[in-house]
């Protein structure tokens, strides 16, 4: 089959769409419909070609990638995928991001939406009257993009016989680190500061109460509070509120790391949120995630130097789409 005769080298990583897109052009997945290779992408077919098993008890040693020049060119894609898997497994971002935008430069402005007067949404449009306007414009400020990552450094001679399933675990941990750092960036944008600070409700008494949560919930006039973010200590305080001492809530939190409160909002605990703050948001409208490519690896160093030293990075930023879709409850 065609996948067995493709010439692979590091120049494929220079393709604007990335390594996989370049490989798919050489070996389209469509031609394998109805065959035993259906469901595999072009990269996975190359793993099969070179008999490289990246998971399971029979996984290959790292040295298997470097048995030929062609198979060595697959190694950076393997690293990128393993790191991305770790980021996806760790990430809470999917619970709070409304839209994700991938850009090809480091300059990006999001949009600002002005829906006009609230009365325009209530009153019917009379005959001959102008239709109310929703104005969408570019934001005046650029989205701040930050690079997160780790330097991958190892002696090839020391690890070349290490099994790939174990090495994948280490790479997934790098992905988890990147995801946690990006979540912290997202939380900082949600809370904001100065002109971008989210509207804040202060705790009414000495201890957090159900009335405080209701006060936060009531601030969402035009949006729905469907997510609550809190630090582990603050989340524990929330679940200790008498009105929330429901065995079903506790069981849900233990199983999923989050629970649906009587207010209809999912409570998510994360150390990215500082103690003393609870972030309420409408995940449908609150936050845009902007990325400049996915997980990036120094492919030439991974191929030529066999893992001696290579950076694994991700460039990402966040911006609030509708500031009114985010509120903060200050508990301290």
What pLDDT score does 279 carry?
98
Would the pLDDT of 83 be above 90?
A: yes
- Which helix (H) or strand (E) segment holds residue 82: the answer is helix 75-90
- d(CA 197, CA 185) in angstroms, rounded, equals 14
Distances (CA, A) of 322 to 189, 221, 239: 12, 13, 29
Pair 238, 278: CB distance under 8 Å: yes
| Domain with 252 in it | 87-108+143-332
What tokens appear for 70 in the block?
């062609």
pLDDT of residue 261: 77
Q: What is the pLDDT of residues 252-263, one digit of tens each?
A: 554 555 667 778
In angstroms, the CA 58 to CA 52 distance is 10
List % helix, strand, coil for the chain (3-state, nearest 5). Answer: 40, 20, 40
The verdict on residue 116 lying in a domain is no
pLDDT value at position 304?
81
Question: What tens digit of pLDDT does each residue of 150-209 get?
Answer: 998 888 888 899 999 999 999 999 999 999 999 999 999 999 999 899 999 999 988 999
Residue 177 CB neighbours (<10 A): 18
The tally of domains found in the chain comes to 1
Give the residue with greater pLDDT, 225 vs 250: 225
How many helical (H) and strand (E) elements, i.e. helices and strands, does the chain have? Answer: 11, 13
| Residue keyed to tokens 């969402």 | 220
The set of residues, in sequence order, having a beta carbon less than 8 Å from that of 170 and lying 6+ positions away, is none
Query: Averaged over 53-62, what is the pLDDT?
Result: 93
Question: Residue 52, SS3?
Answer: coil
CB atoms within 10 A of CB 156: 13
Question: Is 120 inside a domain boundary?
Answer: no
- Give the span between the Cα atoms of 93 and 285, in whole angstroms: 14
* pTM of the full structure: 0.85
User: What confidence tier does 309 reach under pLDDT thresholds 50, 70, 90?
Assistant: confident
pLDDT of 291 above 90: yes
Q: Is residue 312 part of a domain?
A: yes
Domain assignment of residue 217, yes or no: yes
Residue 222 phi/psi, 5° resolution? Answer: -100, 0
CATH for 239: 3.30.2320.10
Within 8 A by CB and 6+ apart from 145, the residues are 106, 108, 290, 292, 315, 316, 317
User: Over 60: is that where the pLDDT of 103 sits?
Assistant: yes
pLDDT at 252: 53
| DSSP three-state, residue 104 | coil
Give the closest residue to 238 by CA, choosing from 199, 218, 266, 196: 266
The confidence score (pLDDT) of residue 266 equals 94
- Tokens representing 146 are 């930050």
| 119 pLDDT above the threshold of 80 | no
Distance CA 169, CA 179 (A): 15
Among residues of the chain, what percentage have pLDDT more than 90?
Answer: 67
Whether residue 58 is contained in a domain is answered as: no
Candidates 160, 167, 161, 147; CA nearest to 295 is 147
The mean pLDDT value for 318-323 works out to 94
Chain mean pLDDT for the chain: 89
CA atoms of 313 and 317, how far apart (whole Å): 13
Which two three-digit tokens encode residue 64?
């298997």
Give the model's confidence band at 131: pLDDT under 50 very low, under 70 low, under 90 confident, else very high.
Answer: confident
Q: Which two tokens stand for residue 271?
A: 């150390």
pLDDT at 249: 53
- Both tokens of residue 278? 């609870």
Q: Would you say residue 318 lies in a domain?
A: yes
Q: Please return the burial class of 122, using the count of CB atoms within 10 Å of its CB with bins 0-12, 13-18 and 19+.
A: exposed
Is residue 21 situated within a structural domain? no
Confidence at residue 235, expressed as pLDDT on a 0 to 100 scale: 94
Tokens of 126: 């009379």
Q: Answer for the pair 186, 270: CB distance below 8 angstroms, yes or no.
A: no
What's the distance, Cα to Cα, between the start and end of the chain in Å? 65
pLDDT confidence of residue 256: 54
Residue 227 lies inside a defined structural domain of this protein: yes
């Amino acid at each position: 089959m065609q996948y067995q005769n493709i010439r692979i080298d590091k120049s494929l990583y220079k393709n604007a769409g990335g390594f996989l897109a370049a490989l798919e052009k050489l070996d389209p997945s469509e031609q394998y419909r109805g065959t035993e290779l259906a469901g595999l992408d072009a990269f996975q077919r190359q793993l099969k070609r070179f008999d490289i098993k990246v998971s399971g008890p029979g996984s290959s040693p790292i040295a298997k990638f470097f048995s030929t020049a062609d198979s060595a060119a697959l190694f950076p894609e393997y690293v990128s995928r393993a790191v991305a898997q770790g980021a996806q497994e760790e990430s809470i971002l999917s619970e709070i991001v409304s839209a994700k935008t991938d850009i090809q430069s480091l300059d990006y402005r999001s949009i600002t939406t002005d829906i006009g007067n609230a009365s325009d949404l209530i009153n019917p449009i009379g005959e001959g009257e102008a239709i109310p306007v929703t104005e969408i414009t570019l934001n005046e400020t650029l989205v701040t993009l930050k690079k997160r990552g780790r330097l991958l450094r190892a002696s090839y001679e020391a690890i070349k016989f290490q099994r790939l399933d174990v090495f994948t675990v280490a790479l997934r941990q790098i992905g988890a680190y990147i995801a946690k750092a990006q979540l912290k960036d997202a939380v900082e944008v949600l809370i904001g500061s100065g002109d971008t600070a989210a509207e804040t409700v202060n705790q009414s008494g000495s201890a957090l109460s159900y009335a405080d949560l209701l006060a936060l919930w009531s601030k969402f006039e035009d949006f729905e509070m469907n997510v609550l973010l809190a630090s582990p200590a603050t989340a524990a305080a929330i679940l200790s509120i008498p009105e929330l001492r429901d065995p079903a809530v506790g069981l849900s939190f233990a199983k999923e790391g989050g629970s649906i409160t009587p207010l209809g909002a999912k409570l998510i605990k994360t150390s990215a949120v500082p103690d003393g703050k609870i972030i309420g948001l409408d995940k449908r409208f609150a936050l845009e995630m902007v990325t400049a490519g996915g997980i990036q690896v120094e492919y030439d160093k991974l191929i030529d130097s066999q893992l001696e030293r290579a950076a694994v990075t991700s460039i990402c930023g966040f911006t609030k789409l509708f500031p009114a879709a985010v509120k903060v409850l200050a508990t301290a």
